[in-house]
Amino acid sequence: MNIGAAYRARALSFLLIVGALIGVGCSPGGQPELSGAREGGSVSVALASAPDSLDPAVAASPTALQALWLSHTPVLTYARGEGEAGTQVIPGLAVDMPEVSDGGRTVKLRLRQGLRYSDGRRVVAGDFERAIKRALRLNVHGLDLFGDIKGARRYSRSLLAGADIAGISADGRTGEVRIDLRRPDPDLTHSLAQPMAAPVPAGTPMRDLSSRPPSGVGPYRSVPARPGTAFVLERRRGFRLPGVAAGLVDEVSGEVIRDAGAQSQAAIDSRVDVAEGEPPVNLVARIRSELKDRYSEHLTLALDYLAMDVSRPPFAGEDMRRAVSYAIDETALERLRDGFLAPTCNVVPPQVVGYRALDPCPYGEREQNSDVVRARELVKDSARRPPPVIVSAEGRRAAALERYLVRTLDKVGFRARRARTAGEQTQAQVSFARVEPVLPLPGRYLEVVDDSVLDRRIDLLGREAPAQDSADDWAALDLEVVEGAEVAPYGVETVGVLMSERMDPENCLLYHPVFGLDWSSLCLR
């Protein structure tokens, strides 16, 4: 089976597990079919940890962003869809997608009329600048996302919080916002779809408001948490915004249950309504078989790969790197992750613009049939004696992953051993790594390759046009990176969603690639 077929087979197995993994009970736009969904009621979701903040300028944790997606809609937003559809940017509070001129250095958008925050105050165009100011002051990612706006860097260093950002102007009468850039930034649309770009009302302080988050525009609003809950989101009945789901349940509350086994057991026993994550190995077989009517598995945006130090032997040589790519067995690596891994040969994941399944993979059938013979030939032709290699991994599976890689490399002619000290871990020639960028863009994955020439090419391609307009070029660069074997991608991480008996996963379940399970899509039986 080639890698393309392997991926399709893996996707089909997901479908068989849950009855229908993608799009069940959903319209083409990704919103639940209300004819088959019940409205009202409340649901509880299990959390491994509480959100770091529900202030959109401060929040960084996945759970926080998952909640803010429902309570603080930015000027642009991500489509309510699964797979690649969910990584597409659409108008949020803006009427249309931005108008770009002056060679990509001027961006104009217009806010919708009649928008109101959850506290009833009107949204005005100047509120957008306030959001960007707070992001630049309060969030370490602020400059990464908005640093190309003229005056943004100067403002971030200024001691005057009330100063203006030179590159942002707003017309309160027409709702128009103009953004002037110091250089073209085709990624800006994705930056403007992040919760920290959601406007906040006049008078919102320039400080961390985690204890009392500012009002936002969205189908839900944050209300004071009850004892035993990390947060409570309350539905705003009558909320309407094109492209944004209105929500089905009246309330979503989060309950912190740090242990994965306890999370799963709570959902099995219907003490919580949703557990999202990897069930522990002692429960996963039962969950996948006996509870398949309320359990599903979904692709994430996290790519797992082997990183090789190309600056020194043995991996300065391409044949040595290609030997590693031929030798790895994706099925064995999937087992080491308890099955929560979808095999891939690409650096760009399936949900991201620019993905084209490498079919066949340049390194043959790596699922249950790695090409050890070819790998051994490459090593033998490149070295007189077995090259020494130190391998490293991190996390709770580190020991098992390192043992697997040592055995594999020894089998094809290397002399491998595990890193023994912290210093050796940082200097290892090959290590297990993962990447899950803030923005779901192909360049953010390809830049994991340590190659200055490639970095410049990624930067140039990224600035020529939005990713969706140059998807074929990104796909060609992905193929080139894989063939050069400077990294060895082997899998996209998956995640499980287990629901209580009260829930209706057949009609109401949408797993978004950027924000995870869309709580606004949930409903009761």
Q: Which residues of 223-261 are buried (b: 16+ CB within 10 A; e: fewer)?
A: eeeeeeebbbbbbbeebebebbbbbbbebbbbbbbeebe
418's enclosing H/E stretch is strand 415-418
The whole-chain average pLDDT of the chain stands at 91
Q: 132 phi and psi, to 5 degrees?
A: -65, -40
**pLDDT (average), residues 463-476:** 92
CA-CA distance, 504 to 69, in Å (whole number)?
22
The whole-number pLDDT of residue 100 equals 95
The whole-number pLDDT of residue 17 equals 35
The whole-number pLDDT of residue 27 equals 34
First to last CA, the chain: 40
- Spell out the residues 6+ positions from residue 41 whose beta carbon is closer than 8 angstroms to its own: 249, 250, 251, 523, 524
Q: 277 phi and psi, to 5 degrees?
A: 155, -160
* CATH code of domain 301-495: 3.10.105.10
Reduced to 3 states (helix: H, G, I; strand: E, B; else coil), residue 22 is: coil
CA-CA distance, 146 to 89, in Å (whole number)?
17
* Higher pLDDT among residues 489 and 19, named by residue: 489
- How sure is the predictor about 57, in pLDDT bands with cuts at 50, 70 and 90? very high
Q: Is 365 exposed, middle or buried (0-12, 13-18, 19+ CB in 10 A)?
A: middle
The whole-number pLDDT of residue 48 equals 94
- 234-281 pLDDT, tens digit per residue, is 999 999 999 999 999 999 999 999 999 999 999 999 999 999 999 999
Torsion of CA 141, 147, 151, 152, to 10 degrees: -10
> What value does the CA radius of gyration of the chain take, rounded to a whole number of Å?
24
> Is pLDDT of 29 > 50?
no
The whole-number pLDDT of residue 206 equals 94
CA 60 to chain centre: 12
Residues spanned by CATH 3.10.105.10 within the chain? Answer: 301-495
Q: Is 61 exposed, middle or buried (0-12, 13-18, 19+ CB in 10 A)?
A: middle
DSSP 244-313: B---SSSEEEEEE--SHHHHHHHHHTTSSSEEEE---HHHHHHHHHHTGGGEEEEEEEEEEEEEE-TTST
The whole-number pLDDT of residue 256 equals 97
Tokens of 313: 């032997």
Residues spanned by CATH 3.40.190.10 within the chain? Answer: 32-251+500-521
The whole-number pLDDT of residue 11 equals 40
Q: Whose CA is closest to 338, among 382, 281, 381?
A: 281
CATH number (3.90.480.20, 3.40.190.10, 2.60.40.420, 3.40.50.10140) of 32-251+500-521 reads 3.40.190.10
8 Å CB contact between 294 and 331: no
CA-CA distance, 379 to 19, in Å (whole number)?
45
Angle at 261 between CA 255 and CA 262, to 5 degrees: 40
- 180-226 pLDDT, tens digit per residue, is 999 999 899 999 999 999 999 999 999 999 999 999 999 999 999 99
